[in-house]
Amino acid sequence: MKLVIAEKPSVAQSLARMIGATKRQDGYLEGNGYLVSWCVGHLVELSAPQRYDERYTKWRLEDLPILPENFLYEVSAGTRKQYQILKGLMERPDVESLVCATDAGREGELIFRLVYNQCRCKKPFERLWISSMEDAAIREGFAKLKPGTAYDALYEAALCRERADWIVGMNATRLFSCLYGQTLAVGRVMTPTLAMVVERDAKIAAFRPEPFWTVQITAGGVTAASPRYAKKTDADNLAALCLEEGKAMIRTVETKEKLEKPPLLYDLTSLQRDANRILGFTAQQTLDYTQSLYEKKLVTYPRTDSRYLTDDMREMLPELITSVAGKYSFAGSELRIEPARPESIFDSGKVTDHHAIIPTKTMAGSDLNGLSAGEKAVLQLVSARLLSAAAEDHRYAEITVRLTSGAEEFIKKGRTILTPGWKAIWQHFYPEKAKDEEAAGPVPAEGSLVNVEAAEVKEGKTSPPKYFTEDTLLSAMETAGAEETPDEAERKGLGTPATRAATIEKLVQRGFIERKGDRKTRRLVATDKGTSLITVMPEQIQSPSMTVEWEQKLLQVEHRELGAEEFMNGIEGMIAGLVSTYKKVKGADALMSRNKVIGTCPHCGAEVLERQKGWFCSKRECRFVLWKDNAYFTKIGKRMTGQIAEKLLRDGRVRLKDCKSQKTGRTYNADLLLSTEDDGRPRFSMEFEDRKGGK
């Protein structure tokens, strides 16, 4: 009997169906010589500091640094039942071996190994490594199981990452919290990401717009612009001179044929960026939707950092493109069944754990009506990218006209499309106004003298840097520290594609940044609390350099180029040095004590202040509080954010989309209403479009 352990119940059910384990039991499935069970995320976690010594229950500077000689683990309280089921299955005498079928990556490996080790299991195990939940991929994966020992280095890298994060998080959080008298959560990836947002906000705040003026003339049917002038009088004089002379000389007419290659396929970060820019989704929403599509066999594995397919996938692609195009009823002449640029799609050398995200063959034959609106939108995005990536180059002619009048040069640029190529496919799915794609029109010959028909002074202002959006912050995280990273490095930036969304959500959840603006143009802005934290952080903690270096070393551990012990010694030395040398920033107490007012208490009318764990009424006797870790919101699959809290206090209601039913798993939209109990505690209720529901 083989015991197969997946990461989630839904994945376990798909695997069980394919291998014939169809008999349902309590916490597992059985049949055809297999037992199939599942973890529920991390069943086993690192113990809290007080497990090592009771004195760590209190946070004291003199107890730092906390550097366990041997790390302790314990079963998560909320998942103890499933852990006991797995332990019992491992101990069954008829179970001869196991199959690790958790997600094929660093974290999936860690989840399985921690449970396996906590149960003190010694039975041999194999590894299922697949990039798709399609039936054919599952069958092939089980036919090509590898010994579990082949992934020992991956597990060591995962352990190093987890333990290093624990050491930095526990010690740095306690250090700064004790020094500044409030809980200041510090994270290896989270804090440098916050620092980038704070720095961008500071540049915007310090920016002072400067006016400038240009002269726009129309001559010989061509409208062209001068360089910028810092003084309006200079622009006025030029315009007057051009009109006075009344002539302009066509100096050059240059036409260059240019092309834009088709876009690469999606990895997770590029998908999250486009989904934010085009659909307004957060990075976490995009990951959740894509993970759901993966589990429904509609797209391939989402947590990938590759944008290529392996060379052995060439034969299957034409059929897949045909199926996807048919599913979306796209039959444009730009569609290419055989990729126009195969080298931009296939490259086994650029595929690490998983290939790029693409639709599956199963998708083409599936009924998509049962999908949520978010799932449909992400699936269309992935499908449109596949069709676009296989298409021809977008070719255009760029026409540059230079003319002189009044002893100044004026320039006009325009472009004429020659071959729409892949952009025609993308425009079919996502129409948007093209930039400067009008033909330049009839242009006088070079050297000709033409009449100046008009001269007008235009005023403009220099623009500040733009606030981060989820799209641009993901891009900044992906490229952070790139100048310090070797060109041959496999992974760059802050975090990994699989963790960046969670990092942004943690920053929002903990009140360090907030989302502002409407859904399509929401910007990420640091709160006073976030700015204060970065103000007191030493450079080594807030700089991306440390995290970028860690990621490179973790990859070296994964490839057996660096020992795990050597990596951990470096982390411990860095933290010990920080604890012994850091000095409290003078004058920071006033800066750190600010609490943001977000609205008025609906019960007593006092101010509601943001604190570490929620938004509290400023009157001590009032019991009104909106917890950040809110049980009601968790139950409907949502998170209480600062934006939601402000709207509830202002309007008494907020519109929530894609809430999740615990009973059916389906999503729905509803208005959440806020009222209070007699003692001030908040009370939530739902109002639906066609009916009204209570708590």
Write down the architecture of domain 212-261+394-461 according to CATH: Distorted Sandwich (2.70)
What is the SS3 assignment for 259? strand
- Tell me the per-residue pLDDT of 329-361, one tens digit each, with 9 for 90 and over: 998 899 999 999 999 999 988 887 789 999 999
Count of CB atoms situated within 10 Å of the CB of 632: 17
Res. 650: pLDDT tops 80 = yes
Q: How far apart are CA 27 and CA 469, in angstroms?
A: 42
Number of H helices, E strands in the chain: 22, 26
State residue 440's pLDDT score: 52
Count of CB atoms situated within 10 Å of the CB of 376: 15
Backbone angles phi, psi at 335, to 5 degrees: -65, 130
- Tell me the per-residue pLDDT of 74-114, one tens digit each, with 9 for 90 and over: 998 888 999 999 999 999 999 999 999 998 888 899 999 99
Give the tokens for residue 492.
């760059």
Domains 2-144 and 212-261+394-461 share a fold: no
Percent of the chain residues topping a pLDDT of 70: 94
Question: Where do we find the tokens 């606030």?
Answer: 467
- What is the enclosing helix (H) or strand (E) of 38? strand 34-38
State residue 92's pLDDT score: 96
Res. 470: pLDDT tops 60 = yes
- Where helices occur in 517-641 by DSSP H, the ranges are 528-536, 539-542, 544-558, 564-581, 588-592, 631-635
Q: Are strands 667-676 and 653-660 parallel, antiparallel or unpaired?
A: antiparallel
Compute the average pLDDT of residues 291-319: 92
- Where helices occur in 225-316 by DSSP H, the ranges are 232-245, 268-274, 283-295
State residue 343's pLDDT score: 93
Q: Smallest Cα–Cα separation from 190: which of 209, 168, 212, 216?
A: 168
Range name among 99-103, 378-382, 435-439, 607-611 with the lowest pLDDT average? 435-439
Q: How far apart are CA 296 and CA 139, in angstroms?
A: 16
266 neighbors 460 (Cβ within 8 angstroms): no
Q: Where are the domains of the chain?
A: 2-144, 168-204+466-591, 212-261+394-461, 268-389, 597-693
Catalytic positions, please? 301
Res. 220: pLDDT tops 80 = yes
Q: Smallest Cα–Cα separation from 193: which of 503, 412, 539, 564?
A: 503
297 neighbors 14 (Cβ within 8 angstroms): yes
> Would you put residue 221 in left (φ > 0), alpha (ψ -120 to 50) or beta?
left
State residue 483's pLDDT score: 62
Give the tokens for residue 645.
């809290």
- Tell me the per-residue pLDDT of 502-556, one tens digit each, with 9 for 90 and over: 999 999 988 899 998 876 678 999 988 889 889 888 888 888 888 778 888 888 9
Q: Smallest Cα–Cα separation from 168: which of 190, 153, 150, 188?
A: 188
- Tell me the per-residue pLDDT of 381-410, one tens digit each, with 9 for 90 and over: 999 999 999 999 999 999 999 999 988 999
Give the tokens for residue 291.
């993970």
The alpha carbon torsion through 372, 376, 382, 388 (nearest 10 deg) reads: -170
- Domain covering 168-204+466-591 in this structure, CATH number: 1.10.460.10
617 neighbors 606 (Cβ within 8 angstroms): yes
Res. 491: pLDDT tops 80 = no
Average pLDDT for the chain: 89
State residue 336's pLDDT score: 94
CATH 1.10.290.10: does it fit domain 268-389?
A: yes
Tell me the whole-structure pTM to 2 decimals: 0.76
Q: Are strands 597-600 and 523-526 parallel, antiparallel or unpaired?
A: unpaired
Question: Where do we find the tokens 């804090």?
Answer: 191
State residue 539's pLDDT score: 87
Give the tokens for residue 165.
């994060």
State residue 474's pLDDT score: 94
pLDDT band at 436; cut points 50, 70, 90: very low
- Tell me the per-residue pLDDT of 236-275, one tens digit each, with 9 for 90 and over: 999 999 999 999 999 999 999 999 999 999 999 999 999 9
2-144: what fold?
Rossmann fold (3.40.50)
Q: How far apart are CA 271 and CA 381, in angstroms?
A: 8
Question: Where do we find the tokens 């934290």?
Answer: 533
Backbone angles phi, psi at 276, to 5 degrees: -75, -45
Q: Which amino acid is at 117?
A: N
Q: Smallest Cα–Cα separation from 416: which of 262, 218, 256?
A: 256
Contacts of 75 (CB under 8 A, 6+ apart): 43, 44, 83, 118
